[in-house]
Amino acid sequence: MNKIVLFFSLLILLSGNAFAGKNDTLQYPLDYWFKKCEPHQAHYIRVAFKEGDWWHVQDIYAQTGTLCKDGLYSDDSMTVGEGMIFFYHPNGKLEKKARHIKGKLEGLVKIYDTAGHLVDSGIYTKGIPKKAHYKWDSDGKLVFKGEYDEEGYGVGHEWEYYPDGKMAAVGNTAVGAKRDSIWTFYYPTGVMSAQDFYDKGSKMGRICYDEKGEKYEATCEDAPAQPVEKPETINNRFGQRYQDMKDMGSGDAFYSFKKGTYIVLKVYIDETGKMTNVDVLHTVHPKVDQLIVDIFKGITKFKPATKGNVPMKSSYEQAFPLGGTL
C-alpha cells in the first residue's frame, strides 16, 4: 500500500466514515502497542475485511504507509491466527513468516533482521518447539540452540552461547518447552556464574557465584537495563528543555501537541552500562525526536542488564508522553 492509499484511508478515519458495518470491513487506528487509539496517536492503521467466516487483517505503518502484518484470523478480536501470517519491518523487508492453526505456531518459522539476515529458525507444533531451534546474532554467529523430542512435547535441551562461541547457559526443558531441573550459567571466561533450579517451568531458587567460581550469599536475580536517574528526572529535564525551545520558537507548529501524543525510543546499552545507540521507534517531529535523543545521550550512567549473574548487552524501549501530560 502506498502513501496515496494511506492518505485516503486516513481521510476516511478522520471523517468518521470508516467501513465498519458496511461490506464486513473495518478500519481504525492502533497505537504502538496495538491498542485502539485516536488518529493522531496512530502507529498502525488496521484494515480488516471478512473472507468467509474469518477476518483478513492488514496492519499498515501509519507514518510510512508500508505493510506491517498480513494474515487471517478466525475470531472477532483478531488474535487467533489461521494459516500463513507475514510480518514486515518498517523498511519493508520481511521480518517473519509463520503458519498458524487455531492461533498456535505450526511448522517451520523463520525470523529475519532489518537487513534481511536470518536470525531465528525453529520447528513448532501447536505452538511448542520440536526437533530443532536455532538463533543467530546479526553477524551470523550462533547464540542459541535447542534440541527437542520429535513428537512436539517440547522435552529436550537448550544451549546459549556468547558471540565467541563459549557457553553462556545450558539446561533441560520439560513438557511445553518449560525450563526444568538445573540450569547453569557461565561468565565469558567459562567460570560458572549461577545455577537455577526449576520444576516444570517454576523457578525454585538460584545460587550465585563470583568470577572465581566461589559461591556467595547475595541476590543476583536477572534485571533489565535501566537509567540510574529516575524517570521523573528525565521527564523534567525534557519538559524544561522543551519549554525553552517553545519560548524561542513561537509560531512553529511542532510545539503544539494533542493530549495523548507520545514518542517511543529504543535504547541500546552494553555490558559496562554505556549507551551505544538510540533509535526512535515512534516519531513525533524531527526537532522533538532529536531533543529526546540528545537528552538520553547526555545520560552517562546506566545499569546494564544482567542474566545468569552476568552483565549483558541489551536494549529496552522507553515511551515519553507529550501534549499536556508533562
Report the CATH number at residue 151: 3.90.930
Phi-psi region of 23 (alpha: psi -120 to 50; beta: other; left: phi over 0): left
Query: Where does a domain end: 108, 139, 174?
Result: 174
**Is 209 within a domain?**
no
pLDDT at 9: 46
Higher-pLDDT residue of 246, 251: 246
**Is 181 within a domain?**
no
- Asked if the model's pLDDT at residue 188 lies above 60, the reply is yes
Query: Where does a domain end: 111, 140, 174?
Result: 174
- Asked if the model's pLDDT at residue 303 lies above 70, the reply is yes
**Is 30 within a domain?**
yes
**Is 267 within a domain?**
yes
**24-53: per-residue pLDDT in tens?**
899 999 999 999 999 999 999 999 999 999
Rounded distance between C-alpha atoms, residue 123 and residue 112, angstroms: 15
- Asked if the model's pLDDT at residue 138 lies above 60, the reply is yes
Based on the domain organization, do 18 and 164 belong to the same domain?
yes
Query: Where does a domain end: 174, 192, 218?
Result: 174
pLDDT at 287: 81
Classify residue 224 by its DSSP letter.
-
List, in sequence order, every residue forming a beta bridge with 128; answer none if it has no partner: 125
Secondary structure (DSSP) of 205-257: EEEEE-TTS-EE-S----B--EESS-HHHHHHHHHHHHHHHHHHSTT-GGG--
Q: Domain containing 91: what range?
A: 3-174
CB-based contacts of 100, cutoff 8 Å, min separation 6:
71, 80, 81, 82, 83, 84, 85, 106
What Rg value do the Cα atoms of the chain yield, rounded?
23
Based on the domain organization, do 235 and 164 belong to the same domain?
no
Based on the domain organization, do 49 and 153 belong to the same domain?
yes
List, in sequence order, every residue forming a beta bridge with 50; answer none if it has no partner: 55
Nine-digit cell string for 319: 515511551
Counting the structural domains of the chain, the total is 2
Based on the domain organization, do 239 and 142 belong to the same domain?
no
How crowded is residue 35: how many other Cβ atoms within 10 Å of its Cβ?
10
pTM of the model: 0.84
Based on the domain organization, do 266 and 124 belong to the same domain?
no
By three-state DSSP, how is residue 229 classified?
coil
Based on the domain organization, do 275 and 133 belong to the same domain?
no
**162-180: per-residue pLDDT in tens?**
999 999 999 999 999 999 9
Mean of the pLDDT values across residues 273-277?
92
- Asked if the model's pLDDT at residue 69 lies above 80, the reply is yes
**Is 166 within a domain?**
yes
Based on the domain organization, do 129 and 278 belong to the same domain?
no
Based on the domain organization, do 239 and 167 belong to the same domain?
no
Backbone φ and ψ of 33, nearest 5°: -100, 20
Q: Annotate 232-253 with b (16+ C-beta within 10 A) or e (fewer).
A: eebeeebeeebeeeeeeeeeee
Burial of 316 (0-12, 13-18, 19+ CB in 10 A): middle
Task: Provide the percentage of residues in the chain whose pLDDT is more than 70.
Answer: 87
Q: CATH number, domain at 277?
A: 3.30.1150
**Is 282 within a domain?**
yes
- Asked if the model's pLDDT at residue 7 lies above 50, the reply is no
pLDDT at 259: 84
